[in-house]
Amino acid sequence: MKYFIRRVLYAIPVLILVSLLIFIMTRIMPGDPARMYAGEQAPESTVEQIREEMGLNKSLPEQFVIYMSDLLRGDFGYAWHTEHEVIDDFAARFPATLELAICSLLLAVVIGVPLGILSATHKNSIVDHFSRLFSLAGASMPVFWLGLMLVLVFYVKLGISPAPMGRIGNGLNDPTHITGLFILDSMLTGDTAALKSSLSQIALPAVTLSLASMAIITRMTRSSMLEVLGLDYVRTARAKGLKERVVIYRHAFSNTLIPLLTVLGSQFGLLLGYTVVVETIFAWPGIGSYVTDSILITDYAPIQAFALLSAVLYLVINLVLDLLYTVVDPRVKYE
Amino acid sequence: MDDLKRKSNQQNTQQAPQRATVWQTFSRNKLAVIGLILILFWVVVAIFAPVLATHDPNDPIVAEKFMHPGEGGHILGTDNFGRDIFSRVVYGARISIWAGVISVGISFCIGVPLGGIAGYYGGAIGNVIMRVMDGLSAFPSLVLAITLAVSMGRGTVSAMVAVGIVSIPDYARLMFAQTSSIKAMPYIEAGRAVGLKTSSLILKHIFPNCLSQLLVRATLGLGMAILTVSSLSFLGLGVQPPTAEWGAMISDGRRYIVSGEWWITTFPGLAIMTSILGFNLVGDGVRDILDPRNRTGS
């Protein structure tokens, strides 16, 4: 508990620093935000007025204080291209991104971990060669290209997959809003048509988003399993006559959980970045495609808010994982 | 947690094998050799781009739009403007490799001194530097790269600088860890006792000891930098049209996937993949040589 409080307290200066970095970035950007807001044709007096309203003629430290107090009140600025508060746009689009992220992370773990274990227990077999080739390719493949290639093969050539357009097929209504996660909502309401459609819509983007993480998880699981399998206590377990399955899963695998958690934490950051790219390709109406839209028309506020919130989320996730270390490995104690 | 830290420190202090055996060990690693060949291939392509290219990479020939690979003398076909894909891929190698080298150069040249200073002096300066590094790495890397690139305005230079800044903490941390452990060693103390300047202590006596690890980091970083720059270009932030860049080419061809013109996106993607694969394989290979513990793992 003490450790937890200390970790949370330690996160505060990092958060202030993170906001300071973003603040600096907004001040080095070329062009005048007030002018951009007012439009090219606006007279200088209007721009001056907006500058005053935005607080841009105050001193930098004063501006920073105002900026921080806005953030604390949950005010992340205004997105002029949607004419909404950024925070409202985020809230509306968050479930789509969350659903995609959960599915991808699940895929990455559910496939990556067993593949890594199999590859380690059958070293130099065909499975092993395949999994190594796979993790090499996965780590080197640009996500945006992979997404397009999957669309090419599964939609254009084979026609198995629906058009890469959003979360649910044409002509279908969104399932009744409960959690905002279409798969879950359609299950809860018993809407089979929506469930089928949303599953087939999410398949390609989820695979695309997960592949890089899957590759790294496979690789990580393999190498830490190999390391653990060579240790004396595993030999002892075998010598005791324990079933191979028990040796591998209970004895060896549980000791690879710590590196696995560490990798999961870093994969989360990767995932946050890649959602921008993947959502754009599949016209997925989440936060990622919103950020791309904002990039294309140079609307700064959503991009900065995205950077800030993903840093916060990344910190929180890593804190949670740190605490999970004690759960998966009783030897790890925080004092 | 302390246990984990101690373990990783042990790894770091393991000695690298003698120089003579490095190439032998490296060449025994088939994958690393393949990686080296891939890198050399793309470097040669980049250098001889004007010789290899069959057409002007930026010259649109309206009459030759959407030609299939092999059609009308276009080895890899043409794009929606009638530009020759083969020539664009070849010229794209120049931009991508340059972008990779420059952004890694930026992270290296800023990160290494920062980490060195923080590690050597420690105290308040060290703390401030390393906390700023913590702040930078609190962002997911692509997210930070996007934000920086947006702030600095679209263009190749701002994309390279953005990608460079994102990786500064990697090099600073490595250098910091090494410097703070090496600075307590007797030979550094001896150097100080004979009156060597701090800068020469860091540069001539500490830095060479970190070089091998920094180089592994840089090799792997090159692949990552090429990938990130092309991702930025794909999002419309990095290299601007009509310059031939792999990520931008894929972005251009994106709309034509559905209508069946697959070659516009496929070939630049293969180019990105093979070049990154090259750097990853070589980086892994060198890391295996430096860290015997990893050799059993791969």
Query: Does A133 map to a domain?
Result: yes
Compute CA distances A205 → A146, A211, A293, whole Å.
10, 10, 18
CB-CB neighbours of B199 under 10 Å: 12
Q: CA A114: distance to chain centroid?
A: 22
CB contact under 8 A, B142 and A300: no
The Cα–Cα gap between A206 and A211 comes to 9
Q: Which residues of chain B fall short of a pLDDT of 70?
A: 1-22, 291-298
Q: Do A132 and A168 fall within a single domain?
A: yes
Q: Do A163 and A221 fall within a single domain?
A: yes
For residue range B8-24, list pLDDT tens digits in order.
444 444 455 455 566 77
Q: Do A257 and A234 fall within a single domain?
A: yes
The Cα–Cα gap between A241 and A74 comes to 59
**Does residue A220 contact residue A257 with C-beta atoms inside 8 Å?**
no
Six-digit token string for B164: 């460079």
**Interface check A211 vs B, CB under 8 A:** no
Q: Which of residues 235-294 of B touch A (CB under 8 A)?
A: 235-237, 247, 250-251, 254, 257-258, 260, 262, 265-266, 268-269, 272-274, 276-277, 280-281, 293-294
CB-count exposure of residue B114 (10 Å: 0-12, 13-18, 19+): buried
Q: Quick one: pLDDT at residue B7?
A: 47
Residue A255: list chain B partners with CB under 8 A. Answer: none
The Cα–Cα gap between A213 and A115 comes to 13
The Cα–Cα gap between A219 and A225 comes to 10
Task: Kindly report whether the peptide bond that precedes residue B242 is cis, defined as omega within 30 degrees of 0.
Answer: yes
Q: Which of residues 130-189 of A touch B (CB under 8 A)?
A: 132, 136-137, 139-145, 148-149, 151-152, 155-156, 163
Which of B5, B139, B251 would best serve as a mutation to test chain A binding (most A beta carbons within 10 A)? Answer: B139
Mapped onto helix, strand or coil, the DSSP state of residue A248 is helix
Query: Does A335 map to a domain?
Result: no
Q: How far apart are the CA of B297 and the nearest CA of chain A, in angstroms?
A: 5
Q: Do A101 and A239 fall within a single domain?
A: yes
The Cα–Cα gap between B241 and B93 comes to 16
CB contact under 8 A, A277 and B138: no
What is the model's pTM?
A: 0.86
Six-digit token string for B261: 């013109």
Query: Does A253 map to a domain?
Result: yes
Provide the residue range defining the domain that includes A112.
Answer: 91-328
Residue B258: list chain A partners with CB under 8 A. Answer: 151, 155-156, 163
Q: Quick one: pLDDT at residue B4?
A: 47
Mapped onto helix, strand or coil, the DSSP state of residue A74 is coil
Q: What is the CATH number of domain B34-59+68-297?
A: 1.10.3720.10
Query: Does A255 map to a domain?
Result: yes
Q: List the Cα angle B27/B30/B34 in 5-degree steps.
A: 95
Percent over 90 (pLDDT), chain A? 24
Model confidence at A167: pLDDT above 90: no
Residue A82 phi/psi, 5-degree rounding, is -110, -10
CB contact under 8 A, B140 and A226: no
For residue range A94-121, list pLDDT tens digits in order.
999 999 999 999 999 999 999 999 998 8
Q: How far apart are the CA of A188 and the nearest CA of chain B, in angstroms?
A: 34
Residue ranges of alpha helices (H) inside chain A are 2-28, 33-38, 44-53, 60-72, 86-121, 126-140, 143-150, 182-188, 192-229, 232-239, 244-246, 257-281, 287-296, 300-328
Q: How far apart are the CA of B151 and the nearest CA of chain A, in angstroms?
A: 4
CB contact under 8 A, A226 and B297: yes
Q: Do A96 and A189 fall within a single domain?
A: yes
Mapped onto helix, strand or coil, the DSSP state of residue A171 is coil
Please tell me which residue of chain B has the smallest CA distance to A303: B147
Residue type, B139: F
The Cα–Cα gap between A138 and B277 comes to 10
Q: Do A102 and A28 fall within a single domain?
A: no
Q: Do A58 and A113 fall within a single domain?
A: no
For residue range A193-205, list pLDDT tens digits in order.
888 888 889 999 9
CB contact under 8 A, B147 and A28: no
Instruction: Give which of A332, A301, A323 is closest to A25, Cα–Cα.
Output: A301
Q: Which of A30, A58, A85 is the last residue of a domain?
A: A85
Q: Quick one: pLDDT at residue B210?
A: 85
The Cα–Cα gap between B93 and A326 comes to 47
| Identity of the residue in A156, A306, A311 whose CB atom sits nearest the CB atom of B258 | A156
Q: Which position has the higher pLDDT, A11 or A210?
A: A210
ipTM exceeding cut-off 0.90 for this assembly: no
Residue B274: list chain A partners with CB under 8 A. Answer: 140
Q: Do A146 and A101 fall within a single domain?
A: yes
**Does residue B243 contact residue B95 with C-beta atoms inside 8 Å?**
yes
**Does residue B161 contact residue B106 with C-beta atoms inside 8 Å?**
yes
Q: Do A70 and A138 fall within a single domain?
A: no
Sequence-ordered list of residues with C-beta below 8 angstroms from that of A151, at least 6 positions apart, any chain: A161, A164, A204, A281, A282, B257, B258
| Identity of the residue in B230, B257, B293 whose CB atom sits nearest the CB atom of A156 | B257
Which of A4, A17, A145 would best serve as a mutation to test chain B binding (most B beta carbons within 10 A)? Answer: A145
Q: Where are the beta strands (DSSP E) in chain A?
A: 78-79, 84-85
Q: Which position has the higher pLDDT, A277 or B11?
A: A277
Percent over 70 (pLDDT), chain A? 95
| Identity of the residue in A137, A269, A315 whose CB atom sits nearest the CB atom of B141 | A269
Q: Which of residues 16-35 of B touch A (CB under 8 A)?
A: 31
Q: For chains A and B, what is the number of CB pairs under 8 angstroms?
A: 165
The Cα–Cα gap between B160 and B152 comes to 11
**Does residue A215 contact residue A109 with C-beta atoms inside 8 Å?**
no
| Identity of the residue in B4, B138, B145 whose CB atom sits nearest the CB atom of A314 | B138
Position A159 confidence tier, pLDDT thresholds 50, 70, 90: confident
Q: Which of A34, A56, A85 is the last residue of a domain?
A: A85
The secondary structure of residue A1, as a DSSP letter, is -
Q: Which of A54-58, A188-192, A318-322, B53-57 has the lowest mean pLDDT?
A: A54-58
Q: Quick one: pLDDT at residue A32?
A: 64
Q: How far apart are the CA of B31 and the nearest CA of chain A, in angstroms?
A: 10
Compute CA distances B142 → A266, B164, B234, whole Å.
12, 12, 13
Instruction: Give which of B130, B111, B134, B116 is closest to B179, Cα–Cα.
Output: B116
**Does residue B194 contact residue B205 with C-beta atoms inside 8 Å?**
no
Query: Does A232 map to a domain?
Result: yes
Six-digit token string for B284: 């892994």
Please tell me which residue of chain B has the smallest CA distance to A133: B31
Instruction: Give which of B35, B276, B221, B184 is closest to A215, Cα–Cα.
Output: B276
Please tell me which residue of chain B has the smallest CA distance to A129: B298
| Identity of the residue in A30, A143, A145 whose CB atom sits nearest the CB atom of B265 | A145
The Cα–Cα gap between A301 and B36 comes to 43
The secondary structure of residue B195, as a DSSP letter, is T
Instruction: Give which of B216, B234, B144 is closest to B174, Cα–Cα.
Output: B216
Q: Quick one: pLDDT at residue B10?
A: 47
Q: Do A33 and A154 fall within a single domain?
A: no
Residue B250: list chain A partners with CB under 8 A. Answer: 142, 144-145, 148
Residue B268: list chain A partners with CB under 8 A. Answer: 145
Instruction: Give which of B90, B63, B91 is closest to B78, Cα–Cα.
Output: B63
Q: Quick one: pLDDT at residue A97?
A: 92
Mapped onto helix, strand or coil, the DSSP state of residue B57 is coil
Model confidence at A164: pLDDT above 70: yes
Q: Do A260 and A289 fall within a single domain?
A: yes
CA dihedral A250, A256, A257, A258 (to 10 degrees): 140
Dihedral sign (CA A183, A187, A188, A194) = positive
Model confidence at A291: pLDDT above 70: yes
| Identity of the residue in A31, A132, A314 whose CB atom sits nearest the CB atom of B140 | A314
Q: Do A66 and A121 fall within a single domain?
A: no
CB-CB neighbours of A124 under 10 Å: 9
Total domains in chain A come to: 2
Would you tell me the crossing angle of helices A86-121 and A287-296 to the nearest 10 degrees? 120
Q: Which of residues 150-209 of B touch A (CB under 8 A)?
A: 150-153
Buried b (16+ CB within 10 A) or exposed e, A137-173: ebbbbbbbbbbbbbbbebbbeeeebbebebbbbeebe
Q: Which of A60, A85, A110 is the last residue of a domain?
A: A85
Please tell me which residue of chain A has the smallest CA distance to B144: A307
Q: What is the mean pLDDT of residues A116-131?
A: 89
Residue type, A8: V
Q: Quick one: pLDDT at residue A28?
A: 66
